[in-house]
Copies of this chain bind each other. A is one copy, B any other.
Amino acid sequence: MATTQPAAVDRPPTIHDIAALCGVAASTVSRALSTPDRVNIRTRQRIEAAAAQLNYIPNSQAKALSSGRTGAVGVLVPDITNPFYFDLIRGTQLQLKAAGYTQLLVDTEESDEVEASTMEQLRKSADGIVVAASRLSDDALLAAAAKMPMVTINRDVPGVPAVLIDTPSATSQALDHLISLGHTRIAYMAGPPTSQSSERRWTALSVAAEERGVEVRRLGPFAPKTQSGAAAADAAVHSGVTACIAFNDLIAIGMLQRLRERGIRVPEDMSIVGCDDIFGADFCNPPLSTMASPIEQAGRVAVSMLLAQLNPLAGGGTRSRSVMPTHLTVRASTGPAPAAAVATPATPATPGLG
């Protein structure tokens, strides 16, 4: 009675339990479950039945250790609480789950060091990673990509597969929109210095502005948080522009709040365009005109590209670059440029009363 039980009462069943139950070797069970063709169909059926009966679930740790593949993919985002990443995360999660992978989500806290150390750790526990809005240098990113399969989102480094969100072209659309409303002095409220997408957007914007003969000045940098919006709003007002294109909706919404506090009307006195169309952009006050893009789809595409890289079985050259379309969604935060505004709003008191 004191001998070992064939199957311990509470311990999850292993292939050895199945093997014992069927009277075959454990390796046969392994093959029956992972390489069905290598095993007699009758044996296989017996094994499958036993597995079902025992409610067998393979141990992913053990599988990872022996096969080298973990069945997990790391997803790195700079800030989980930034609504922009919600849909992205949901997109990656959906696509990964559909492919039977587990998502390891990590908030890198907008820090390149955290990002780098996370990558190093993930190198063992994930088959690949999706990196959104990396804060790493091009070189560091390239080096990391050499060590493990990687797809970046919104970060263009030659040699590293990427999903790019075409905000530069949307930025031109936004500029045209503002020009058509009569604005001629416009500001770009820049994002963090380490954000490549902020740079790309600014480049596109200044080129487009030159082509169209309007003045666009760059203000900032501003942290991508609503709190930074106050400083951004003050800077915009002080610079005398009548319209702003913000790095993202967080900054834009923060500006909306600050302008309201200061009694500056949007869009009558100042027009604001955001970017990303995050949760909240449609119900803030006034609802925000913004550049929208299919973020969830971007997440899904990034995962697809990564998985294609991991399992090169199916034909079709692995795409290494994918650009997501973007469009301008006009709501109520943009309107005609103030008529007399050119000579008054920001600096009038001082010279006017002198």
Interchain CB contact under 8 A, B70 and A81: no
A interface residues, how many (CB within 8 angstroms): 39
Most chain B C-beta atoms within 10 Å of own C-beta, residue among A120, A280, A285:
A280
Across the two chains, which residue of chain B brings its CB closest to A283? B284
How near does chain B come to A91, taking the closest CB pair, in angstroms?
Answer: 10
CA distance A126 to B283 in the complex (A): 39
Across the two chains, which residue of chain B brings its CB closest to A81? B86
User: 1/0 per position for A281-309, CB-CB distance to B under 8 A?
Assistant: 01111100000000000000000000000
CA distance A102 to B70 in the complex (A): 15
User: 1/0 per position for A106-139, CB-CB distance to B under 8 A?
Assistant: 1100000000000011011100000000000000
User: 1/0 per position for A42-86, CB-CB distance to B under 8 A?
Assistant: 000000000000000101111011000010000000001101001
Interchain CB contact under 8 A, B256 and A124: no
Determine which of B60, B124, B279 lies in contact with A57 in the assembled complex, contact meaning CB atoms within 8 Å: B124
CA distance A282 to B60 in the complex (A): 44
| Chain B residues, Cβ within 8 Å of A59 | 65, 124
Question: Would you call A87 an interface residue if the criterion is a C-beta within 8 Å of the partner chain's C-beta atoms?
Answer: yes
Question: Would you call A226 an interface residue if the criterion is a C-beta within 8 Å of the partner chain's C-beta atoms?
Answer: yes
Interface residues of A in 154-190 (CB under 8 A from B): none
Interchain CB contact under 8 A, A57 and B285: no
Determine which of B65, B89, B226, B284 lies in contact with A62 in the assembled complex, contact meaning CB atoms within 8 Å: B65
User: 1/0 per position for A266-286, CB-CB distance to B under 8 A?
Assistant: 000000000000011011111
Interface residues of A in 223-262 (CB under 8 A from B): 226, 253, 256-257
Question: Would you call A12 an interface residue if the criterion is a C-beta within 8 Å of the partner chain's C-beta atoms?
Answer: yes
Given A62-B65, A257-B283, is A80 in contact with B86 using a C-beta cutoff of 8 Å? Answer: yes
| A interface residue numbers (CB < 8 A to B) | 12, 57, 59-62, 64-65, 70, 80-81, 83, 86-87, 89-90, 93, 102-107, 120-121, 123-125, 226, 253, 256-257, 279-280, 282-286
Q: Besides A62-B65, A80-B93, 9 other CB < 8 A contacts?
A: A12-B123, A61-B64, A61-B124, A81-B87, A83-B83, A86-B86, A102-B104, A257-B283, A280-B280
Report 20 cross-chain contacts, Cβ distance below 8 Å, ordered by A residue: A12-B124, A57-B120, A60-B125, A61-B64, A80-B86, A80-B89, A81-B86, A81-B90, A81-B279, A83-B86, A86-B86, A102-B125, A105-B105, A226-B283, A279-B279, A280-B280, A280-B283, A283-B284, A284-B284, A284-B285
Q: Which 4 A-B pairs have the closest CB atoms?
A: A285-B285, A280-B280, A105-B105, A81-B86
